[in-house]
Amino acid sequence: MRIVFAGTPAFAATALAAIVDAGFEVELALTQPDRPAGRGMKLTSSDVKQEALARGVAVATPATLSLARGGEAAVAAHAQLRAARADALVVAAYGLILPRAVLDIPRGLPDAGCGRVTALNIHASLLPRWRGAAPVARAIEAGDTSTGITIMQMDAGLDTGPMLLTEATPILPGDTAASLTPRLAALGARLIVEALRAGAEGRLRATPQPAEGATYAHKLDKREGELDFSLDAEVLARRVRAFVPFPVASLRSGETVLKVWAAHAVDPGRQPARPGAIIGVAPEGVQVACGRGVLVLTELQRPGRGRMPVAEFLAGMPLRVGETLVGRPTESGPSP
């Protein structure tokens, strides 16, 4: 079976490696163009590009696949896709919209009950919950206790196509997006290989997504990381975990912006002091009053330094009981 693969981050590279290792012919890998990264803002290839080149797979990095916006470059990209003569397109966290014309290029696998299967998507949630760009982080933020992988037959909608395979996995109490994503990547890699093998043998069966229970996982925005201490401590603790490794929760002590890499909630339902007030400082954590409950900060980072356990952090930058930490700033500036 001939495959064209489209993906960008490590989550997708895990699937690409599994597909190649399973013996499928990957004729072409589509991925996002190289981007500046790191302190030096050096141009860096995506994880998928690096994996593809290491395995001898041809790579294309179109800026868009829209013929209306992409001009001659998009026309050339479509021609390259047709030349690959793929049986199926596999997509995982690609980051570009795939027009219907692209989805229709592969020859397709046998009809699984919802038409010819030309394009399969590896989605990191149990659809229809958490359609969209950030399903892992949104599941943690919402307090979900489980998530999973859906292998979906792609259509013109946003993660709305029929489901081909699904498998659930628990969200552990201490999971961050950074710890959960690799587990989902491994699960997605295994399921896409199962789906391709089943498709080659005509064993895939599509199930339309339920009409009820759909939610949308909006793309993460850097400003979301600014903690609002008027909220419940448990809500903020989930956000801290959801926003690792991006955008990373943050607060301000005076004029200094601190990143919060780890925290947990205690004293649910209690409002011990003004939200944002530090009510306890110990090597085990800095206790901050919230709208309800207390947020205990256990791993912090100040500008120009690495992330540190709170005991180490306090040795270089003391925080004191009675000080008020500020999260999301108001239009008039920092709170007093």
- For the chain, the domains span 2-217, 223-316
pLDDT for res 157 = 87
8-state DSSP, 45: -
Cα dist from 195 to 30, 181, 186, 294, whole Å: 20, 20, 14, 46
Residues facing 259 on adjacent strands: 250, 301
For helices 135-142 and 233-242, give the axis angle rounded to 10 degrees. 160
Tokens 């190649």 locate to 20
Do 188 and 124 meet the contact criterion of CB atoms below 8 Å apart?
Answer: yes
β-strands 35-37, 119-123 pairing: unpaired
Task: Enumerate residues 6+ apart whose C-beta is below 8 A from 254.
Answer: none
Task: Enumerate residues 6+ apart whose C-beta is below 8 A from 307.
Answer: 259, 261, 299, 300, 301
Provide DSSP, 245-302: TTT-EEEEETTEEEEEEEEEEESTT---SSTTBEEEEETTEEEEE-SBSEEEEEEEE-
Cβ burial, residue 38 (10 Å; 0-12/13-18/19+): exposed
pLDDT tens by residue, the chain, 336 residues: 999 999 999 999 999 999 999 999 999 999 999 998 877 788 999 999 999 999 999 999 999 999 999 899 999 999 999 999 999 999 999 999 999 999 999 999 999 999 899 999 999 999 999 999 999 999 999 999 999 999 999 998 899 999 999 999 999 999 999 999 999 999 999 999 999 999 999 999 999 999 899 999 999 999 999 999 999 999 999 999 999 999 999 999 999 999 999 999 999 878 878 999 999 999 999 999 999 999 999 999 999 999 999 999 999 999 999 999 998 654 333 332
CA dihedral 244, 93, 120, 25 (to 10 degrees): -110
Cα dist from 33 to 59, 63, 82, 222, 287, whole Å: 10, 7, 20, 22, 43
Cβ burial, residue 336 (10 Å; 0-12/13-18/19+): exposed
As a 3-state breakdown, the chain gives helix, strand, coil percent values, each rounded to 5, of 30, 30, 45
CA distance 243 to 291: 20
Look at the alpha carbons of 148, 262, 297, 141 in this order and tell me if their dihedral is positive or negative.
Answer: negative
Whole-model pTM: value is 0.94
Look up the CATH number of domain 2-217.
Answer: 3.40.50.170
pLDDT digits (tens, 9 = 90+) for 159-206: 999 999 999 999 999 999 999 999 999 999 999 999 999 999 999 999
Look up the CATH number of domain 223-316.
Answer: 3.10.25.10
pLDDT digits (tens, 9 = 90+) for 113-125: 998 999 999 999 9
Percentage with pLDDT > 90 across the chain: 90
Measured in degrees and rounded to the nearest 5, phi and psi for residue 100 equal -55, -35
Length of the chain: 336
Alpha carbon 89 to its chain centroid, in Å, reads: 21
By C-alpha distance, which of 19, 17, 29 is closest to 59?
29
How many CA atoms, within 13 angstroms, populate the side-chain half-sphere of residue 9? Answer: 13
Do 314 and 274 meet the contact criterion of CB atoms below 8 Å apart?
Answer: no
